[in-house]
Amino acid sequence: MLFSEHTNGVGWAKMTGKGLKRKLPEEGDLPEGATVQKGSGLYSAQRQSVLNISLDKYNRGQRLLEPSLRRSVLIANTLRQIQEEIRQEASDSGTPQISTPPVAQVSPLSESSSLKEALPTPTPPSRLSMENHPMGLGDSDDWTLLSSEEDFSLSSAISSLLKELDVVIDGSPAPSPQRTPLGSIENLETEKADKQEPCRAESKHGGCPEGCRPSETVFGNLEIMSSSYLCDVALDDLFLDIDTSVYEREAGSLGSRTLSSAASDEFLKYLPSCHPSSFSMNPNARDLNELEHIMEILVGS
Amino acid sequence: MAGVGGGNDFQWCFSQVKGAIDEDVAEADIISTVEFNYSGDLLATGDKGGRVVIFQREQESKNRPHSRGEYNVYSTFQSHEPEFDYLKSLEIEEKINKIRWLPQQNAAHSLLSTNDKTIKLWKISERDKKAEGYNLKEEDGRLRDPFRITSLRVPVLQPMDLMVEASPRRIFANAHTYHINSISVNSDHETYLSADDLRINLWHLEITDRSFSILFCSSKGTIRLCDMRAAALCDRHTKFFEEPEDPSSRSFFSEIISSISDVKFSHSGRYMMTRDYLSVKVWDLNMENRPVETYQVHEYLRSKLCSLYENDCIFDKFECCWNGTDSAIMTGSYNNFFRMFDRNTRRDITLEASRESSKPRGILKPRKVCTGGKRKKDEISVDSLDFNKKILHTAWHPKENVIAVAATNNLYIFQDKMN
C-alpha cells in the first residue's frame, strides 16, 4: 500500500527511516510561514515547489480506484491559493507604474485628452504612447523610450492591451482587473440534476465566493432520495474549470517577471520563438519583440 | 480509572498481538478499522480485503485472577467483496472503512460494516445445540419417504461444538456518491447515520431502500453539529465550531493540515474531540469559538509538510478515541507510535507498537522523538521515522484500561499493569 506512487522527480528521497540521504537541498523542509519572508526568493522557490507537486497530483491520469473527494478538493484548493497569490503579486507589481486606474487606459478616444490633463504625475513614456494610440503601438521609435527598468510597465502595458482587446472583442466594458480563467468550482454544476449542490471548496475565509449559495440555505435541505444512482457528475468534471495549462506556463516562466498575468499568457502562445533582433544589446530585446508582435496581432485584427 | 502512563502509578504493558509476523505484508491483511463493542467483550477488526474478524475475551480464569482475559478469534467472515462500477468504470474497494456495533438486544450480536459504498448489517449468532431426530428427514438431510414412517418422535436438542455464524441481515446501498468514511448509531437504536466527504445520510435500520440526506458544506477546520431532536431541518439548530486561524502560522498547507480526519463524542456527551493532521482538540459542546484543549501530536512534522504533501502522507486520516471515563485520549502517529494524553494531569506519553517490545506482560517503554539539537540515547530523530508504519486506528475498551492498536496488518492489545 504503503507509499503512494506519487513521488515525482523533485529530488526528494522517501523518508523510509533507512537513513537515505537526500539528493537535493530541501527547500520544502524549511519552516514555512513564520520565518520565510513572503517576498523573498526562498518563498517563491517553496511556492514553486508546492505548485509543481500540486500540478503533478492534479494531473495524474485516471486511476482505477475512485479518488477521494477530500484529497482532490484539498489539492485543488492549494493550487488555487497559490494562483491567487501569484495573481495578487502581479497586480501589486503593476500598480506603482500606473498613476491612473487601468480602466482609464481603455476609455474611448474622445475622452483621452481630458484624461491626459487629469493625470497628476507624468507617466512613463510607454504609458503616454498608449494613451495616444490605444490600439496602435506600431511606432518603433517608442521602443527606444523603454529602458530596463520598465519591465513592470511593460507587463502593465500588456495587461491593459489585453483588457482593451476584451473591449473590442466582447463589446462589453472592460472586465475587473483580475481576470479569472479559473472559474470557482462552485459555479460548475449547472448540469447537475441535484439542485442542492453545496459549495465544494470554500475560500480560506470560510465564505463562498460569488456564484455559490450561502451555506445556511444549502444546509437546511433534507430530502428523501431513492436508492437509485445519483446524477452527480464524476469527480473529474468538478475540476474542469481549473485551467492547468496556465500553471504549466507559469511553472516555466517563473524566472521572467513580466507577463505573469494569466491572461497575457494566452497571447504568449501565439508568439514565435524569440530570435535576436537589432536591439540585441538591450536586455529587453526579447520582450520588445514580443510586444511588437502582440501589437501586430492587435492591429491586424 | 487512570489513563496515561509515565510515573510509578500506571504503566502499559503488552498483552497480545494478532496477525502475521512476515515483513512482507499482504495488502488485504492491512487492518482498516478497530472497534470494541459496548461491553468490551468483543473486539471487531476490518481489513482491506473486506474481512471482519471478531475477537472475544475469555472469561477470567480462576487460576490466574490477576491477569485479564485474552482476546481470541470468535468469528471471521467476508463482509464485502470488490465490485466494479460499470457506469463510472471504477473499482469499488472492498476495504472495510468502519465497523459499528449495535446495542445487543437479544442473544445475537449485530454490527454495521461499511466499505466505500455499501453498508451491511450483520447478525452474529451462536449455535451450540442442534436438533436431532427429525421425522421427515435423515440425519444427513435426506428426505425420508413418508410412507416408510411408522412412528413419530419428538426431536431432541443435542449439544454441539459452538458455531458462530454471521449472516447479513440488511444491505444499504447506492446512497453515497463519494466514499463512506464513517457510520454512527443513534441513541434511539433504530436509526443510524452514514457520512461521506460531502453528505450525511440518515437510515432506518429496517428500511434499506431509502435514506434521508443532509447536505452540508465541507470546509476546513470547522465542524457543524446538528441537533436532530429539535427539527428535521438542520439549518437552524446547528452549532458551528471553528477556531480562528493564527495568521502568523499560515502556510501553503494550512488548509490541508486543518482538515479534520476524525470526530468523536465523549462518553459523557459533553465534549467532542477532533483530529487534524498535527493535533487533537477537545471542544466543549457549549462553546463554539475555540477548543478547550489542544494537544500536539507530532508538531515536529510541521517543518516537513512539503515532503509529506509530496508523498501523500499529509492526507493520512488519523483517528482518535476517548477512554471510558473521558479522562484520557489516544491517537496514532508514524513509526508505529501512538500517543496518549491525560486531560487531568496534562501528561502525555508516546508508545510504540512493535514486535520488539512485545514480550508477554512486558512494560512498554515511553518513546521520544528528537526534534533538534543533540539526540539523546533512545531518542529517534525525525528523519529516521518510518512513514510507512502509521497507526491510524486505535480503540479503547469502554470500561477498562485495555487498548487495541492497529499497526498495518497487526493488531496489538495492551493493558495496564496490575500493581
Whether B270 is in a domain gets the answer yes
Q: Is A278 within 8 Å of chain B by CB?
A: no
Contact (CB<8Å) A15/B387: yes
Contact (CB<8Å) B315/A32: no
Q: Span B98-126, mean pLDDT? A: 91
Tell me whether residue A202 is exposed, middle or buried, using C-beta atoms within 10 angstroms of its C-beta: 0 to 12, 13 to 18, 19 or more.
Answer: buried
Query: What is the Cα–Cα distance from A14 to A218, expressed in whole angstroms?
Result: 42
ipTM > 0.85 (yes/no) = no
Q: What is the DSSP letter of B289?
A: S
- Adjacent-strand bridge partners of B283: B272
Contact by Cβ (8 Å): A175, A228: no
Whether B2 is in a domain gets the answer no
Length of chain B: 419
Query: What is the Cα–Cα distance from B58 to B74, expressed in whole angstroms?
Result: 10
Query: What is the Cα–Cα distance from B361 to B148, expressed in whole angstroms?
Result: 63
Contact (CB<8Å) A224/B48: no
**Which amino acid is residue A144, in one-letter code?**
T
Contact (CB<8Å) A221/B233: yes
Query: What is the Cα–Cα distance from A136 to A300, expressed in whole angstroms?
Result: 10
The pLDDT score that the predictor gives to residue B291 is 92
pLDDT tier at B64, thresholds 50, 70, 90? low
Using only C-alpha atoms, chain B has a radius of gyration, in whole angstroms, of 24
Contact (CB<8Å) A28/B310: yes
Contacts of B387 in chain A (CB under 8 A): 3, 14-17
Q: How far is CA B79 from CA A290, B53, B111, B330, in A?
A: 64, 10, 11, 28
Phi, psi values for residue B122, rounded to 5°:
-110, 140
Q: How far is A39 from chain B (nearest CA, A)?
A: 14
Whether B5 is in a domain gets the answer no
Residue of B nearest to A51 (CA): B252
The pLDDT score that the predictor gives to residue A97 is 42
- Adjacent-strand bridge partners of B284: B271
Contact (CB<8Å) B91/A206: no
Query: What is the Cα–Cα distance from B281 to B222, expressed in whole angstroms?
Result: 12
Domain of residue B209, residue span: 12-416
Counting as low any pLDDT under 50, the low residues of chain A are 1-35, 61-62, 95-155, 157, 165-235, 246-283
Contact by Cβ (8 Å): B193, A248: no
On the CB side of B269, CA atoms within 13 Å amount to 3
pLDDT tier at B281, thresholds 50, 70, 90? very high
Contact (CB<8Å) B232/A222: yes
Q: Report the relative pairing of strands B222-226 and B238-242 from DSSP bridges.
A: antiparallel
The pLDDT score that the predictor gives to residue B44 is 97
Of B8, B7, B10, the closest CA to residue B323 belongs to B10
Quick: pLDDT tens for B376-389. Answer: 888 999 999 999 99
Whether B4 is in a domain gets the answer no
Whether B7 is in a domain gets the answer no
Q: Cell numbers at residue A171, please?
A: 463589446
Q: Residue window 233-262, chain A: list those with CB within 8 Å of chain B.
A: 234
Minimum-distance CB partner of A28 among B179, B242, B307: B307
Contact (CB<8Å) A225/B211: yes
Instruction: Tally the domains of chain B.
Output: 1
Query: What is the Cα–Cα distance from B40 to B280, expressed in whole angstroms?
Result: 24
Query: What is the Cα–Cα distance from B93 to B91, expressed in whole angstroms?
Result: 6
The pLDDT score that the predictor gives to residue B279 is 95
The alpha carbon torsion through A198, B219, B194, B388 (nearest 10 deg) reads: 130
Residue of B nearest to A219 (CA): B216
Strand, coil or helix: B147: helix
Residue B284: CB atoms within 10 A of its CB come to 15
Residue B368 pLDDT greater than 60, yes or no: yes
Minimum-distance CB partner of B252 among A50, A220, A225: A50
Minimum-distance CB partner of B88 among A31, A218, A234: A234
Quick: pLDDT tens for B396-406. Answer: 999 999 999 99
Q: Is A27 within 8 Å of chain B by CB?
A: yes
Quick: pLDDT tens for B196-235. Answer: 776 777 777 777 777 666 554 444 556 666 655 554 555 5
Contacts of A53 in chain B (CB under 8 A): 306, 309-310
Angle between helices A125-132 and A109-118 (to 10 degrees): 150
Minimum-distance CB partner of B217 among A26, A47, A218: A218
Q: How far is B242 from chain A (nearest CA, A)?
A: 10
| DSSP assignments along A36-71, one per residue | S-TTSHHHHHHHHHHHHHHHHHHHPPPPSBPPPHHH
Lowest mean pLDDT among B274-283, B315-324, B337-346, B370-379: B370-379
Minimum-distance CB partner of B303 among A30, A219, A221: A30
Q: How far is CA B268 from CA A3, A40, A98, B239, in A?
A: 38, 50, 62, 18
Contact by Cβ (8 Å): B42, B36: yes
Q: How far is B259 from chain A (nearest CA, A)?
A: 9
Residue B286 pLDDT greater than 90, yes or no: no
Q: Residue window 7-26, chain A: list those with CB within 8 Å of chain B.
A: 7-8, 10, 12, 14-17, 19, 26
Minimum-distance CB partner of B310 among A7, A34, A204: A7
Contact by Cβ (8 Å): B314, B308: yes
Q: Residue B327 maps to which CATH number?
A: 2.130.10.10
Contacts of B175 in chain A (CB under 8 A): 225, 227
Contacts of A50 in chain B (CB under 8 A): 252-253, 306, 309
Chosen for mutation from A32, A43, A46, A213 (greatest number of chain B CBs closer than 10 Å) is A32
Contact (CB<8Å) B242/A206: yes
Q: Is A205 within 8 Å of chain B by CB?
A: no
Strand, coil or helix: A92: helix
Q: Which residue has the higher pLDDT, A189 or B100?
A: B100
Q: Residue window 164-203, chain A: list those with CB within 8 Å of chain B.
A: 196, 198-200, 202
Whether B248 is in a domain gets the answer yes
Length of chain A: 301
Lowest mean pLDDT among A27-36, A98-107, B5-14, B269-278: A98-107
Quick: pLDDT tens for B74-91. Answer: 999 999 999 888 888 888
Q: What is the DSSP letter of A118?
A: H
Q: How far is B76 from chain A (nearest CA, A)?
A: 23
Looking up cell 475512485 gives A66
Of A26, A215, A3, A229, the closest CA to residue B408 belongs to A3
Q: What is the phi-psi region of residue A292: left when phi exceeds 0, alpha when psi lies from -120 to 50, beta otherwise?
A: alpha
Max CA distance (Å), chain B: 92
Quick: pLDDT tens for B148-188. Answer: 888 888 988 888 888 899 999 888 887 777 778 777 777 67
The pLDDT score that the predictor gives to residue A64 is 53
Looking up cell 502509578 gives B9
Q: How far is CA A130 from CA A98, A115, A125, A144, B206, in A?
A: 12, 12, 9, 15, 74
Whether B80 is in a domain gets the answer yes
Contact (CB<8Å) A6/B311: yes
Query: What is the Cα–Cα distance from A56 to A43, expressed in whole angstroms?
Result: 20
Contact (CB<8Å) A31/B303: yes
Q: How far is CA B192 from CA A173, B184, B188, B342, in A?
A: 54, 6, 9, 31
Q: Which secondary-structure segment (H or E) carries B254? A: helix B254-258
Q: Cell numbers at residue A59, please?
A: 494531473
The pLDDT score that the predictor gives to residue A115 is 36
Q: How far is B251 from chain A (nearest CA, A)?
A: 5
Q: Is A53 within 8 Å of chain B by CB?
A: yes
The CA-to-CA distance between both ends of chain A, in Å, stands at: 56
Whether B85 is in a domain gets the answer yes
Contact (CB<8Å) A33/B248: yes
Contact by Cβ (8 Å): A102, A163: yes
Model confidence, pTM: 0.64
Contact (CB<8Å) A223/B310: no
pLDDT tier at B248, thresholds 50, 70, 90? confident
Contact (CB<8Å) B210/A225: yes
The pLDDT score that the predictor gives to residue B197 is 72
Q: Cell numbers at residue B64, please?
A: 490466574
Q: Span B261-286, mean pLDDT? A: 90
Contacts of A200 in chain B (CB under 8 A): 198, 218
Query: What is the Cα–Cα distance from B398 to B267, expressed in whole angstroms?
Result: 9
Q: Cell numbers at residue B308, please?
A: 509529506
Minimum-distance CB partner of A224 among B174, B212, B248: B212
> A82-101: b or e for each residue (b if 16 or more CB lie within 10 Å)?
bbebbbebbbebbeebbebe
Strand, coil or helix: A293: helix
Contacts of A29 in chain B (CB under 8 A): 303-304, 306-307
Looking at chain B, the whole-number percentage of residues with pLDDT higher than 90 is: 47
Q: Across the A/B interface, how many CB contacts are shorter than 8 Å?
A: 202
Contact by Cβ (8 Å): B61, B79: no
The pLDDT score that the predictor gives to residue B353 is 94
The CA-to-CA distance between both ends of chain B, in Å, stands at: 14
Tell me whether residue B29 is exposed, middle or buried, using C-beta atoms within 10 angstroms of its C-beta: 0 to 12, 13 to 18, 19 or more.
Answer: middle
**Which amino acid is residue B123, in one-letter code?**
K
Contact by Cβ (8 Å): B74, B164: yes
The pLDDT score that the predictor gives to residue B180 is 80
The pLDDT score that the predictor gives to residue A287 is 63
**Which amino acid is residue A204, in one-letter code?**
K
